[in-house]
Structure 1
Amino acid sequence: MSLFIAVTPYKDLDVEDLEHYIEIAEEIDLLLLRVPMTRDDLCWALDYLLANNFPQTKLMIHSDLTILEKYDLNFIHFREKDVQAFEYKKLHPHVSVSMSTHSVETVKHAREWSLDFVFFGHVFESRSKHGLKPRSSKEIKDAVSIDIPVYAIGGIDTHSIKSLPHGFEGVCAISFFRYQSLREIQLLREEWLAYV
């Protein structure tokens, strides 16, 4: 299953942010809400999205089990090496549990614990990892060879996707999905389809 996963910027989301995600909902497969907002404010954001016809099935929450269960969401994501991910997956096999990874060893560990997929990166230079060297070609090749779906994150756009190493099941992005138009996202999907 190929996915386009939009990841929110790490900030308090406002109506402008939410309206943008509503506008692009048809072209993304999941929206990961990874924010420093209070639980009440996060509930407000989720209620706003749902009231404006953002599909509940496309919502993914970051590490907040209370919100996951309150909104009956199907997807939860955790930071690298968070044991809560492994424990939750073991007790709730029907929920899709994923994790951010930055090493081949962590990808292997996620596979051993039966997580559903991982983000792996960063694969290109990116604003959020400014000055940090991207994963090497060998690291990427080794990560995508592990028997778990691996999604590329870091510096993904319509240009970089053309040189994305093969083996990824999909892409995740913060800046691209937040600041590009619906048309640009459609162009990214066209490039993705040429990639796969």
Structure 2
Amino acid sequence: MEIWAVTNGRMGIPELVDVLLLVEPAIDAFILRETTKTDKEIVEAIRRLKEAGCDEEKIIVHNRPDIAVMTGIRRVQIPGYGLPLGQLKLQYPSLLFGRSVHSLAEAEMAYTHGADWLLYGHLFQTASKQGNVPRGTDELFRMVQAIPIPIYAIGGIRPEHLPLLEKSDLAGIALMSAIFSESTAEEAVAPYRDQLFRGKVESTWRK
């Protein structure tokens, strides 16, 4: 199961780049969700990451395929309110697109329109979604069984949730508050990695 990070737009570019470089070895990808940044700032962040040796295959641009093409990034995460996937796939055939979804019906539509992966949430109570009822895992598990592309979950996921999530064919989890609200992002990822490793060891032992 992969671990993705989703940035929260609260850091300046130098700090953001430093944190992402620090946490990169422990994560499989990160979505640059910097909605308050200018285009120039986002391009600058990607430039700094690449020049520092960051694996560019781990970088996913949020909602800006034009910036992805300009900076040589292959993956783009489109929010639920974003442009139609079919149109984007035609206009940017070299890119891979994920769609954020909030229901099985939305997921099925996104798959039909060519999504390469899906991001579903929010699963559990989280500070970034105060007042919104969590969706839980029932629909997520139905989605994973029904749709044959990678599906990732986001929203209030803690290390103790991983044994439940690993029972499905979920491709991975995405973390925002759990990483970027902590004093040290690198330390925040460690309990998730430890839990996943523990699950693999226990699975091998039972065989």
The equivalent residue for 2:70 is: 70
CA 1:118/1:78 → structure 2, altered by over 3 Å: closer, same or farther? same
> What pairs with 1:116-155 in structure 2 (closer than 5 Å)?
116-145=116-145, 146-155=147-156
CA distance in 2, matches of 1:123, 1:192: 18
Greater CA deviation, 125-134 or 78-87? 78-87
For 1:185, the equivalent position in structure 2 comes to: 189
1:170 Cα offset (Å): 0.4
- Contact 1:123/1:134 (<8 A) preserved: yes
d(CA) in 1 for partners of 2:100 and 2:136? 17
Equivalences for 1:77-96 in 2 at 5 Å? 77-96=77-96
Q: Quick one: distance in 2 between partners of 1:22 and 1:136? A: 32
1:54-65 to structure 2, matched below 5 A, reads 54-65=54-65
Deviates more, 1:135-144 or 1:69-78: 135-144
TM-score of the pair, normalised by structure 1:
0.88
Cα separation, 2, equivalents of 1:11 and 1:184:
17
> Shift in Å at residue 88 of structure 1?
1.8
Q: Which runs of 5+ in 1 are unaligned?
A: none
Structure 1, 46-55 or 122-131: larger mean CA deviation: 46-55
1:10 corresponding residue in structure 2: 9
Paired residue type of 2:189: I
Query: What is the TM-score normalised by the length of structure 2?
Result: 0.83
**Which residue number in structure 2 is paired with residue 21 of structure 1?**
20
On the 8 A contact 2:47/2:71 being kept in 1, the answer is no
Structure 1: distance between partners of 2:70 and 2:92: 15
Higher radius of gyration, 1 or 2:
2
The corresponding residue for 2:175 is 173
CA contact (8 A) 1:11 1:37 kept: no
Tell me, yes or no, if the aligned pair for 1:7 and 1:32 is still in contact at 8 Å. Answer: yes
What is the CA distance between 1:184 and its match in structure 2? 4.2
CA distance in 1, matches of 2:140, 2:81: 18
Task: Give deviations 1:10-50, integer Å, cap 9, x for gaps.
Answer: 34533222211101111111111111211111122222222
1:44 aligns with: 44
**Alignment: residue pair count:** 195
> In the aligned structure 1, how far is the partner of 2:51 from the partner of 2:2?
24
- Residues 175-194 of structure 1 show CA distances to partners (whole Å, capped at 9, x for unaligned) of 22323543442431232352
Secondary structure of the corresponding residue to residue 4 of structure 1: strand
Root-mean-square deviation over aligned CA pairs: 2.2
Cα 1:65/1:181, change in 2 over 3 Å: closer
Deviations 1:87-137 (A, max 9, x none): 222454442200111111111011111211010011111111112111144
Structure 2 unmatched runs, 5+: none
TM-superposed deviation, 1:151:
0.3
**What letter matches 1:26 in structure 2?**
P
Please give the per-residue CA displacement for 1:131-165, whole angstroms capped at 9, x wherever unaligned. Answer: 21111443222222222211010012323324436
